[in-house]
Chains A and B, each alone.
Chain A
């Protein structure tokens, strides 16, 4: 234990922060539009991982293609969530939140029935080997998460600031009633937000599939962390989610490296409690949830 593992730990923290960001951004964008809080965001992540397991390991598609395919597949589940749960419970955050807990149960059972619970599914590593840059040794597989996250967050930023429907999405988040008066269809926007939300969770899960063990309950831990991240960042703030994801990534990696992973989670939770007390709107948020 010493300074020599510092670059390595920073590298690990960046990887972890990226994956947190990918999952949390989806949560933030859904909450931003009509306060859709998805309890089972982790199950969408899990479905993304199963996309890679099925398409890449079972069907033999190229890994990259499987990851790309996970976006529309999980986005579709997000749209179904919107139609069946969030639209009927609109205006009641808790009802939607609790109902999605039920949806998470359903997804877990369906996946277990199709592919069995039994042994965790192992996905062979498509990019073996690793880097030894600046005294770090991180597998290519993990390192690949960073550029993909950057590309996807940049893509989202481009969509939200340059594309008409992306701007309309932001408008809906800021003032739904005024948006409707401009002719923006609220239902279309909530569906769009859930599609993006699902897609991000799906790609996150897809990228993690070769690294962690794939099982129907794998999403749980990521969902908990993603919720901590968006609360720290400010529920509907996307830059806040990214910032908080890296803060949490660093907290978890450093505490896990120098102490223990449970302490890492404890400090993360405590950090969130402090943020809630000191600044209930989150670091970069401006609406009290």
Chain B
């Protein structure tokens, strides 16, 4: 098991954001968390990457507890968090953004190799390395954020709403890239509101409702589940 959450809960002050979340992430799979706005999906990702501390439970990465570590140390372990929305560095060029992704990579050669392999996934970014990230379209900024996450050659990638606010064509493009990244043997936790997209990519899924896991199972099974279809896939 690459990552395991055991009965974790997160409190913001006195407000309980999530409770009793247990998730297993086997190496080499895409796991998805789906659910409505405010169901606790992003909070769970923020807890894994160390931005918020769990108030209960354990977070195990390769069997070792990481709940007490600072975000920068968790990044160092090989967990990359691609944050929601447009969290790129707007007044830095694409290249500088990617360099920041490789902040913890010490050797110049390794960083060069990473850059080349990242450009294989994102040829569009290679043409625009000098452009300021803040001046790009939403889809391109999402690509910058994902490419930046890959620059540290992580073993586990946390993706928070990669399709948010993108056109259907761009969503498809992002989906293809996620598949490619996965095909390289990386493990991905995908948080999505677009359940159809997420369940088509993932092997296993968790449905979150008001901070708790309401349902879990194989992605295929969830796709066929009547409740999921009605609530998240918009079918009657």
Residues of A within 8 A of B (CB): 164, 167-168, 170-171, 174-175, 177-185
Residues of B within 8 A of A (CB): 49, 51, 70-72, 75-76, 80-81, 83, 87-92, 96, 99-101, 103-104, 148, 152
Q: Which of A170, A175, A177, A182 contacts B75 (CB 8 A)?
A: A182
Closest CB of chain A to B144's CB: distance in Å?
11
- For the residues of A in contact with B, the DSSP-based class is helix
Most buried by A among B72, B100, B148, B152: B100
Q: Are A164 and B99 in contact (CB under 8 A)?
A: yes
- Can you identify 13 A-B contacts, CB atoms within 8 angstroms? A164-B103, A167-B96, A167-B100, A171-B89, A174-B89, A177-B51, A178-B87, A180-B51, A182-B100, A182-B103, A182-B104, A183-B152, A185-B70
Cβ contacts under 8 Å, A182 to chain B? 75, 100-101, 103-104, 148, 152
Contact status of A184 and B87, CB under 8 A, knowing A167-B92, A171-B92, A174-B92: no
**Alpha-carbon distance between A167 and B89 when the two chains are bound, in angstroms:** 10
Cβ contacts under 8 Å, A178 to chain B? 83, 87-89
Chain B, residue nearest A237 (CB): B91
Cβ contacts under 8 Å, A175 to chain B? 87-90
Cβ contacts under 8 Å, A167 to chain B? 92, 96, 99-100
Count how many pairs of residues, one from A and one from B, have CB atoms less than 8 Å apart in the complex: 60
Cβ contacts under 8 Å, A180 to chain B? 51, 71-72
Cβ contacts under 8 Å, A164 to chain B? 99, 103
Q: Are B103 and A168 in contact (CB under 8 A)?
A: yes
Most buried by A among B76, B89, B101: B89
Cβ contacts under 8 Å, B103 to chain A? 164, 168, 182-184
**Alpha-carbon distance between A164 and B92 when the two chains are bound, in angstroms:** 13
Cβ contacts under 8 Å, B72 to chain A? 180, 183-185
Q: Which of B75, B83, B87, B99 contacts A183 (CB 8 A)?
A: B75
Please list the 6 inter-chain residue pairs (A to B) with the smallest Cβ-Cβ separation, ordered nearest first.
A183-B75, A183-B104, A178-B87, A180-B71, A183-B72, A174-B89
**Alpha-carbon distance between A180 and B87 when the two chains are bound, in angstroms:** 12
Cβ contacts under 8 Å, B76 to chain A? 183
Closest CB of chain A to B101's CB: distance in Å?
6
**Alpha-carbon distance between A168 and B99 when the two chains are bound, in angstroms:** 9
Cβ contacts under 8 Å, A185 to chain B? 70, 72
